[in-house]
Structures are given as C-alpha cells and as structure tokens.
Amino acid sequence: MNVAKLVTDMPVTIRPDDTIDEAICQMNLFQMRHLPVVDSGIIIGMVSDRDILLHTGRSCRHEVNRIVVDPSVTVPQYVNQIMSSPVHLISYDTDLARVVELMLQYRISALPVGDDSGLLGIVTRTDLIRWCRDFCETNPSDVVANSMQPQVLTVDSNDSATKVAKKMYEARIHHLPVTEDGRLVGIISQRDVFQALGIDPTDLKPDSCQKDIRALILMTPKPTTAAPDDPLAEAISIMLQNRFGALPVVSGESLIGILTETDILRKIQSLLAAPVT
C-alpha cells in the first residue's frame, strides 16, 4: 500500500524569508502543525509548531506561555532560522510501511510529497493515525491492551520539573503520567516542561536547570483515560478529537499502561506486515 490516498494535496507552504509570525498565523488559520518551506518552487525544509516553540518559546496554540525569555538571548525572527533541513522527500508511490519507518527512525511527524516538478503534497503522523483508526473500526475486537506500553514511567506530583525533564531526557519520551499515592492524578507533556523551564527535555540535558516547579503545577489534572479492553479505534478517536499525544490506560484506579502516537505507528507497522488473507 502506498501513501497516495493519505496525502494532502497542494498544502499551505511558507517561504524561508517569511517571518515566524507569518508561520504562526498560517498554522492557526489552517489548523496545521507543519508547513513545507518552499523557495522558487523547491522544497528546502519543514517547520513545525514544535520548532517554533523550541526556538522562540512561543506556542501556535491559544494558551498562555510560561517561559520567561532571557532578554540577552537573540530570538530567531525568520523561518529559515528554525526550519528542519534537509527534508526526507517521498513520492505518491512510496510504500506506507516506508513512511512509518522514516517517522519512527527520525522522530518526525510530517513528510513532504513531491517529484521533479516540485512539491505535490504532505503526509502527517495524524493522517496515518486516522488511517489506523478507520482500519481498526472494522475489527472491534482489537483492544487498547494489544497496543499500549504496559511498563509506564511515572513521576510523583511533588517531583520537581527538573526531575521530570531528566526522566524524559533519559527515556526519550514525550509524556509522563503523574501519580499521587499510586493514583493517577495528571499527565505532563514535553511541551509542558519546555514552557516551564525553557528547555526541550528530550534534546538537551537539563543538568543546569534548577527551577523548583512541582509536577503538580505543570500537569494536566484528571486526564482522559482508556481502559485496557476499550476498542483501539475508540481510544484513537479520543486522541484525534482532543489532539492528545498519549492516553493513560487504567484499570479501576490503577495505572496499567499508556497508549502513545508512537505505539499507534508501531501498530500500523504490524498491520502492514501481516499477511493478506
């Protein structure tokens, strides 16, 4: 199976000399998280809302930023200062399994589609997850327990933000459930940590950060959860509708797993590798 049916044709693009303000406006206007960067018809990079957050401390979402920007630091102003380059260009004929492999290997969330004539479209992690949801709807017996991670790293609600960042860095993960006396009380994302500390916990060692902010302050309280026997398609729908990157899995009051976007990509790999019957 190739990616042709998943591609968004003629995506919104940005130029390398456009301002980051313009990129934010485009992302908000078109409800997108990734923009191909095109110069004279040639794609030269990709810029994401995460790139903007990591390099400027600004969010493309309508929320209050908690980062205190150091006035001595020069903040990038233009797209070419923060874009990811070079890009992994794929074609309409690229096998879907190869797309998933690239996203997992390089930890990327969008791939431009093009040929000798230039940019033709874009395929995102969300497109793949939506495909997986639709596929799993035909098999309601496929439940969350089959795809979740049963071994879950957690942090305590009284842990410092520095400790949270260190756990994320060491495990190379983007989400951590927060517990209190063994009960799930919240979840913290990579974005939460960055906005509190001004660092990306999975890219930079947080050894120098000494801010004493408790996980209780950073977390999203009372997170939406799934049960292990919930249909996988139903859990994926919840993640898509709410733009969640992860869903804690509970049995009663006990946290027994977590379902992430990466787990869903691995699920797609297994589906594509299964023999056709």
pLDDT tens, N- to C-terminus, the chain (277 residues): 889 999 999 889 999 999 999 999 999 999 899 999 999 989 999 999 988 887 877 655 544 344 444 555 578 899 999 999 999 999 999 999 999 999 999 999 999 999 888 899 999 999 999 999 999 999 889 999 999 999 999 999 999 888 898 899 899 899 999 999 888 999 999 888 877 776 666 555 555 555 568 899 989 999 999 999 999 999 999 999 999 999 999 998 889 999 999 999 999 999 999 876 5
CA atoms in the 13 A half-sphere facing the CB of 101: 8
Q: How far apart are CA 168 and CA 175, in angstroms?
A: 8
φ/ψ (deg, to 5) at 264? -70, -40
**What pLDDT does residue 67 have?**
44
How long a stretch of residues is the chain? Answer: 277
**What pLDDT does residue 205 have?**
54
Q: How far apart are CA 14 and CA 189, in angstroms?
A: 28
Domain boundaries, the chain: 4-124, 144-273
Torsion region of 226: left, alpha or beta (phi above 0 gives left; psi -120 to 50 gives alpha): beta
**What pLDDT does residue 146 have?**
96
**What pLDDT does residue 192 have?**
86
**What pLDDT does residue 69 have?**
47
| Sequence-separated (6 or more) residues with CB below 8 Å from residue 109 | 33, 34, 48, 50, 103, 124, 125, 126
**What pLDDT does residue 63 have?**
44
Identify the CATH homologous superfamily for domain 4-124: CBS-domain (3.10.580.10)
**What pLDDT does residue 59 have?**
57
**What pLDDT does residue 209 have?**
54
| 4-124 and 144-273, same CATH topology | yes
Tell me: domain 144-273, CATH 3.40.50.150, correct? no
- pTM listed for this prediction: 0.87
